[in-house]
Structure 1
Amino acid sequence: MVQYNPKDWITFIFRFHKSDTFRQLIPMMITIGIYSYVVAYLEIEYWQLSEQSHVKNITIMHGMLGFVISLLLVFRTNTAYDRWWEGRKHWGALVNNSRNLAIKLSVILKEEQDKSFFKRIIPAYASVLQKHLSDEDTAKMLFDGIDLEIDHHKHRPNQVAKILFRKIHELHLNGTISGDQLIIINNEIQSFTDICGACERIKNTPIPYSYSSFIKKFIFFYIMTLPFGYVFNLGYYVIPVVVFIFYVLASLELIAEEIEDPFGNDANDLPTEKLASNIKKHVEEIL
């Protein structure tokens, strides 16, 4: 995730980050510029269309469709940001619930061996979930005193959650944890799987294909028809104008594509690895 100062306007304006859409769109912007030049040359030099040509009235269509495309892009961006923010809220809940579970266990448990187990297994869930959501292969994880066997052909976070609850159940059976205490810590244990399921829902349910495809086609044909009408008013200046309009519209779509899956490795995705590291740090401090 990109760290920045939101009040530093100068840095925003003149600094280009590797995640900036400008870098990604340069090839298409050059192509659009060449296309606009060809259209302008044909209309001005080759066909020599007059001001009375009906082609000039194409701008009426752009005026009517401009409002529609702006609504579509606003809805698209808001939908993608909602997915990003929902993912952040779920990981924030995972951080808080891991702390709460560690705090409760630090008071309930008396044996140092039991505390040591949970000091490693609670952060292990966050680490495995982070790798699970980013599609990374989780290697066999070895902790001091714990042999955590991960079967890569099965749901990995569920395996860690099962190990966690099995240990809680054993402590309940031998009387270390009472029935009332088990009820107290049950919500945090259950929330781990709930958070995992919510994050999987975000990751595995993309924007419907027809909707995403329609927006891209709409932007493409909108930009491709811009030079025909505006050449009469702008002449060859239509080239930078059309390129800039394409940059703005396409950038909004690229930004939405990037943040709609917040668990990847893009520059603006959630710092899940850092959050998992913070959980490990906090749990070790508590236990």
Structure 2
Amino acid sequence: MNRRTTILPAESITRIISMPLEEHRAVLRKYSWLPDVLRIDGSVIPHILGPVLTVTIFAVGIAAVDRHTDLDIRLSNNVVPLLSVVVGLILVFRNGTSYDRYYEGRKDFATLTSQTRNIARLIWINVAPPPPTTADSSQPSAKVQRKVTKLKIRALRLLIAFPRSVVHHLRKENGSDSQEETRILTEQLRDRARIDTYRKHSRAGTGASGYGTVSELTSPVRGKETPSRSNSSECTATGANGVNQETPLLVDVERQEEVEIHISDHPLIPNMPLTIAHELTRMIWKFKRAGMLDTVGPAGTTAMMVSVQTMVDMLTAMERVSNTPIPASYGIHLKQCVTLYLFALPFTMVKDMGYGMIPIVTVVAFTLMGIEGIANQIEMPFGKDMDDLPLEKYCDEMQRDIEYVMDYLPQGDEEDGFMRDMPQEDDDDAVTF
């Protein structure tokens, strides 16, 4: 795609700051009680309506049996207080645990947002054309400046793609063809994201570039044939063909003819966030090698690397929340306790209230089941439900912020007033390191 963006000159940074706020900025709504009381959309009512109606019908049946038959189905009021304390404690712990997961997910994504903005600012300002190699050239040419600008734009586009790829990764939406962030990735990254085959062979180093299959390799320690995966379990720790405590960890590399690399036979599922983080690290390393970070020195390079590392740390933290479910036994026992409590409630109230206990039982069931339903809704904050975190909104906000940096804010070597012609996107020769 060919696109040339011309930035209008800004007289000063004050003009940029005084620009009107965008309409997408959220405005706090007025506090109101009654609309939320009467609201069904977004509440937990649709999720618990069936169980609440079941308890209500059961209460109607108990009241009818007590009124129209001679069966003695009444229980003492001492039963309810015994169960109330236990059910209340379990519900409080359940709701608190779910909200902790929800808050942890939001906090991790906020840290990811902060680090993405920081590294975008550092790249846009600190990366500069390399120092001149000759005394005659004191300033970089316009062509060199355009090359550096396009490299920085490519890096910032990777930063835009990273949080979106994290969202798809947390939702198990693997595959780049359906992901929006692949529109701004390079062809090399797109090819990496399409890996969906099994690794059929292992690499083996013979000198600098030798390759071979697992069956062709020999043990570098004993010179014996390396056992295959099917019969490797027959080799014990002290067997003739196995590795024992006396096997050296390091061998003479020059005398070693072949080295086996153990690669699993499982399919290679691409991890787009890690792929983008890998490419970002490579770009920072290339910036350093090309002398584009000489103005900030090792400290500036380290700051960028630390930001990428923190982004990966936040990815891992959100994976921990996503991949650690609430124990099934806990959820099952909670539902069983609440159900027993609600089914025991009509037997204790029918003696004094008769049919009048039906709405009371319905309200109690709505309250207790609603608390458990809310906990169930928020325990996985990375989905697409209304109660989940608005991750798409956060990603759009981040994209607007980074695009604003590219469109309106000067680079490190530019003045407040500037006009920049973006390089052609299909000019591959202009972006080589």
TM-score of the two chains, using structure 1 as the length reference: 0.91
Q: SS at 1:135's partner residue?
A: coil
Secondary structure class of the residue paired with 2:325: coil
Write the deviation string for residues 204-257 of structure 1: whole angstroms up to 9, x where unpaired: 001111111110110111111111111001101121111111111111111001
Structure 2 counterpart of 1:172, from 288, 301, 305: 288
How far apart are the structure 1 equivalents of 2:83 and 2:75?
16
Alpha-carbon distance in 2 for matches of 1:100, 1:81: 28
CA contact (8 A) 1:87 1:199 kept: yes
Whether the aligned pair in 1 keeps the contact of 2:169 and 2:273 (CA below 8 Å) is yes
* 2:383 pairs with 1:264: yes
**Partner-residue secondary structure (3-state), 2:291:** coil
Instruction: Give the equivalent residue in structure 2 for 1:13.
Output: 37
CA distance in 2, matches of 1:85, 1:284: 28
For residues 17-28 of structure 1, the aligned pairs below 5 Å read 17=41, 19-28=42-51
Correspondence list, 1:1-287, <5 A? 5=29, 7-17=31-41, 19-47=42-70, 49=72, 55-57=74-76, 59-110=77-128, 111-140=148-177, 141-143=182-184, 148-149=189-190, 150-151=193-194, 153-178=269-294, 179-287=298-406
Structure with higher helix content: 1
Could you tell me how far 1:48 is from its partner in structure 2? 5.4
Report deviation, 1:151: 3.7
**Structure 2 residue ranges without an equivalent (≥5):** 1-26, 129-147, 196-268, 407-433
Task: Give SS of 1:270's match.
Answer: coil
Q: In angstroms, what is the RMSD of aligned CA positions?
A: 1.9
Q: Is the 8 A contact 1:223 1:246 kept in 2?
A: yes
Structure 1 unaligned blocks of 5 or more: none
* CA deviation map 1:79-118 (0-9, x unaligned): 1111101111111111111111111111112321121112
Residues paired across the two proteins, number: 279
Q: Deviations over 1:20-59 (max 9, x none)?
A: 222222222222222111111112211254xxx8x331x2
Q: What SS does structure 2 have at the residue aligned with 1:177?
A: coil
Cα distance in structure 2, aligned partners of 1:70 and 1:203 = 27
Distance verdict in 2 for CA 1:4–1:75, change over 3 Å:
farther
Distance (Å, rounded) in 2 between the aligned partners of 1:74 and 1:4 = 29
Does the C-alpha gap of structure 1 residues 147 and 280 become closer, same or farther in structure 2, counting only changes over 3 Å?
A: farther
Letter in 1 for 2:358: I
> How many angstroms apart in 2 are the aligned matches of 1:161 and 1:26?
45
TM-score between the two structures when normalised by the length of structure 2: 0.61
Tell me, in whole angstroms, the C-alpha distance in 2 between the residues paired with 1:26 and 1:189.
46
Letter in 2 for 1:23: P
CA distance in 2, matches of 1:102, 1:238: 63
1:47 alignment partner, SS class:
coil
Q: CA deviation at 1:160?
A: 1.1
CA distance in 2, matches of 1:267, 1:193: 27
Equivalent residue letter for 2:49: I
> 1:191 and 1:43, CA in 2 relative to 1: closer, same or farther beyond 3 A?
same
**Counterpart amino acid of residue 122 in structure 1:** L
**Counterpart of 1:43 in structure 2: which amino acid?**
D
Offset, 1:119: 2.1
Q: CA 1:21–1:145 in structure 2 vs 1: closer, same or farther (change >3 Å)? A: closer
User: How many angstroms apart in 2 are the aligned matches of 1:192 and 1:201?
Assistant: 14
The 10-residue stretch of structure 1 (4-13 or 175-184) with the greater mean CA deviation from structure 2: 4-13
How far did 1:180 drift? Answer: 2.7
User: Which amino acid counterpart does residue 78 of structure 1 have in structure 2?
Assistant: G
Structure ID, larger Rg: 2
Query: Is 2:284–2:304's contact at 8 Å kept on the other side of the alignment?
Result: no
